[in-house]
Each structure stands twice: as C-alpha cells, then as structure tokens.
Amino acid sequence: MDEAKDQSYFLYRLTQEQMKNILFPLGEMKKTGVRALARELHLPAAERPESQEVCFIPDNDYRSFLKEHAPETLKRGELVLTDGTVVGTHEGIAFFTVGQRRHLGVAAGERLYVIRIDSETNRVVLGRQLELQTRKLKVSNAVFTSPLTQSPHKVLVKIRYRSSFAPAVITPEAEYIVRVEFDHPVKGVCPGQAAVFYDHDIVVGGGIII
C-alpha cells in the first residue's frame, strides 16, 4: 500500500512456493498508521527514529565499524581519474560506492564522482557525472517468476532500492545471464547490486549486476 516503503526490490528472488507461505502483516498499512498503533499499545519502538542506513551500526558510521570489526578489508590504494592519472590515495575500497561524490579527499577544478571500483588493482576510479551514465548492463544469477513469453522483452528496471523505474529491454544470453539495454542512459550502475525487472507494479525477475 505504501509505495515509499515498497520492499519488492529486496524480495525478487523469492519463489512463488515461498511467497505463498509468507505473511506481511503491515503490508496494508502506512508507516504513520503503524506508529499510531504502536503508541496505542505503548510499544517503545513507536518513537524510534527511522534508519536509512545499516540498522545495526551505531551512529550510521560504517567506516568505524569496519576499522574495528574487519580491519583486514582496509588496504590503502590509489584514487585515479578515468584516464589513469593518479590524484590521491584512499584507506580502502570498502569506503566507497559507485556514484559517491562526498568524502573523496580530492581537490579538483570540477565535481568528481566514483565511476568504478576496481578490486583487483585496489583502485577507485573518479570522473565526471556524465561518465557515470550507461545504456546497458548484464546480470548474473537471473531469476524469473515465470518463463519469458518473448525475447527480447520490455520491462521497467530498478538498479537500486531508491532508484526510479527505467524502461529497458532484457535479453537472455546464457543460462542465468541476461543483457539489459536501457531506452535512455542511467547513472550509478554498480556491480554487486540487484537489477530488478517489473511489468508495471509486478516483479517479473531480476539478477545481480556484473
């Protein structure tokens, strides 16, 4: 009911067999109604602030969390431009995400964004906003709620939870591999994120961006 809280992006891998055994008791309520009911029942969570980040990390400071609990993931490397020019260093690629433009630690004559994260070379690639855009991607581990009736197939695609729907054509290429070609360039495509396919408001499938 509440489109602002729609969780279908995260649930796309569930099978119909799994879905028929799941209850969503808050699915027909809005968050304001849930809070009001919680107040009536004197539940302490009624006034709990909303979390937009990783909910179990204190103060939303995942950098400090990684330093304390997973220091082996933090390895210094280079910040480079898309032409290979080295413009700085970083403390670990885990501190960055594609599309990020804050906390880059680089003084430049123009606004820079994280374009790509290269785990093999431990480099973070920076560039202009235009360089964030792409017209196509591939996903692996693709699943569908039912077999595609035609190929290629027109769908709406979400490349992250809060992204807008982007019209695209999907074409299976190999087992569990699907090519996605957008009608218009999209920005912020990030390997490892899910790309979820919709037919209007019905989830038809998805996969992991490679």
- Contact status, residue 85 vs residue 124, Cβ threshold 8 Å: no
Tokens found for residue 173: 């290429």
Q: Which two tokens stand for residue 42?
A: 């004197």
Q: Residue 196 and residue 3: Cα distance in Å, rounded?
A: 16
Helix (H, G, I), strand (E, B) or coil at 135: strand
> What pLDDT score does 48 carry?
85
Tens of pLDDT along the chain (210 residues) come to 888 888 999 999 998 899 899 999 988 999 899 999 999 999 998 988 877 777 778 777 888 888 888 888 889 999 999 999 999 999 999 889 899 998 888 877 788 999 999 989 999 999 999 999 999 999 999 999 887 767 789 999 999 998 999 999 999 998 899 999 999 999 989 999 999 999 998 999 999 999
Question: Cα–Cα–Cα angle for 102, 181, 129, nearest 5°?
Answer: 20
Using DSSP's 3-state secondary structure scheme, residue 21 falls into: coil
200 CB neighbour count, 10 Å cutoff:
8
Name all domains of the chain by residue range, CATH numbers in brackets: 60-127 (2.30.30.280), 132-209 (2.40.30.10)
Distance CA 210, CA 201 (A): 25
Model pLDDT for residues 68-117, shown as the tens digit of each residue? 888 888 899 999 999 999 999 999 998 898 999 988 888 777 889 999 99
